[in-house]
Amino acid sequence: MPARAEAASLPPPARPAGPRDRDRATLVVLLLAGGAWLLLWAWTLGGHGHHGGSADLLGVPRPAAVGLAWLVMVVAMMLPLALGLLGSVRRLVCRRPRPGLLTALAGAAFLAPWVLSGQLAQAATVALDGLGSLIAETGVPSAALAGAAVGAIGAFQLSPLKSRSLAACRSPVSFAARRWREGPSPALDVMRIGGAFGMSCVACCWGLMAMMLAAGAVGVFVMMPVAAVMVIERLTPWGAAFSRAVGGVLIVVGASWALLAIAL
């Protein structure tokens, strides 16, 4: 093929991402998250803001309804926290063809570990329900076990794994830059970055999410304070110290709860 004809068949070079592109990507994420929050609000007001109420959500079987509710919750709470990463990915692929699609693929890959964790949480809930009668036979008050669980989540807030994963979540620009490879498939590159960031997010937030689900409610009145804690942890200069303070409070509350349950 003549050089001129070959050049003419190539796609035009992508332009660098400007403020308008970043604003558009931010708007899309905020619209998705806002729509998810509105759906969860309507779901809560409709009396479905608890585990049992998921059974008749949209008239679908309970497992599918619980999975759908979890996905909506993740979009509402977690997708906005990925804005820093998505902006970094957009800058990395700004000269590649279809940078918007590549950024969207990174966002989908970010959500994938959360979707998987929701399935694991659902399986764990079923398993714990089956163990309920066995635990009751031990004579240990359920409130004491709940307090011990809260204390364990508080201890996780002070663990090295929490510190490492929170540090990664607080530095999305360097996270993306360290993992970026100029490979032959930018789609696979951005999905790998988004998936790795999603796994760090799961490792960072699983304790708070588990505590929220263990409370038996996924309505907005429970989700909003948990979401506020995650935002402060990630986006404020003192987020790491705040995370440790939350851990200390949970340990005290959990231990007090367990001891009172045993004493009474």
In terms of DSSP H, where are the helices of the chain? 3-9, 19-45, 62-77, 83-92, 99-138, 142-157, 160-169, 172-179, 186-214, 220-235, 239-263
Residue 134 belongs to a domain: no
> Quick one: which H or E segment has residue 10?
none
DSSP conformational letter for 180: -
pLDDT of residue 14: 45
pLDDT of residue 2: 46
pLDDT of residue 20: 62
The b/e string for 22-41 (b: 16+ C-beta within 10 A; e otherwise) is: eeebeebbeeebeebbebbb
Query: Where is pLDDT greater, at 16 or 241?
Result: 241
pLDDT of residue 135: 57
Residue 32 CA from chain centroid, whole number: 14
Residue 241 CA from chain centroid, whole number: 21
Q: Find tokens 């890959």 and name the residue.
A: 109
pLDDT of residue 258: 87
pLDDT of residue 22: 63
User: pLDDT tens for residues 33-89?
Assistant: 999 999 888 877 766 555 444 445 555 555 666 777 788 888 999 999 999 999 999
pLDDT of residue 121: 75
Residue 168 belongs to a domain: yes
Backbone dihedral region of 216: left (phi > 0), alpha (psi from -120 to 50 degrees) or beta? left
Residue 2 belongs to a domain: no
Residue 129 belongs to a domain: no
User: pLDDT tens for residues 169-227?
Assistant: 999 999 999 998 877 888 999 999 999 999 999 999 988 888 877 665 556 777 888 88
pTM of the model: 0.81
Residue 5 belongs to a domain: no
- How many CB atoms are closer than 10 A to CB 160? 7
Residue 33 belongs to a domain: yes
The radius of gyration of the chain's CA atoms, rounded to the nearest angstrom, is 22
Q: Provide the domain count of the chain.
A: 1
Return the axis-axis angle of helices 99-138 and 142-157, rounded to nearest 10°.
140
Closest C-alpha among 69, 71, 94, 83 to residue 194: 83
User: pLDDT tens for residues 19-37?
Assistant: 565 677 788 899 999 999 9
Residue 171 CA to residue 174 CA, distance in Å, equals 6
Average pLDDT over residues 157-164: 95
Side-chain-side CA neighbours of 242 within 13 Å: the count stands at 14
DSSP conformational letter for 219: S
Parent domain of 215 = 20-123+142-263
Side-chain-side CA neighbours of 59 within 13 Å: the count stands at 0
List Cα–Cα distances, 84 to 32, 72, 91, in angstroms. Answer: 16, 20, 11
Residue 12 belongs to a domain: no
Residue 166 CA from chain centroid, whole number: 12
Residue 103 belongs to a domain: yes
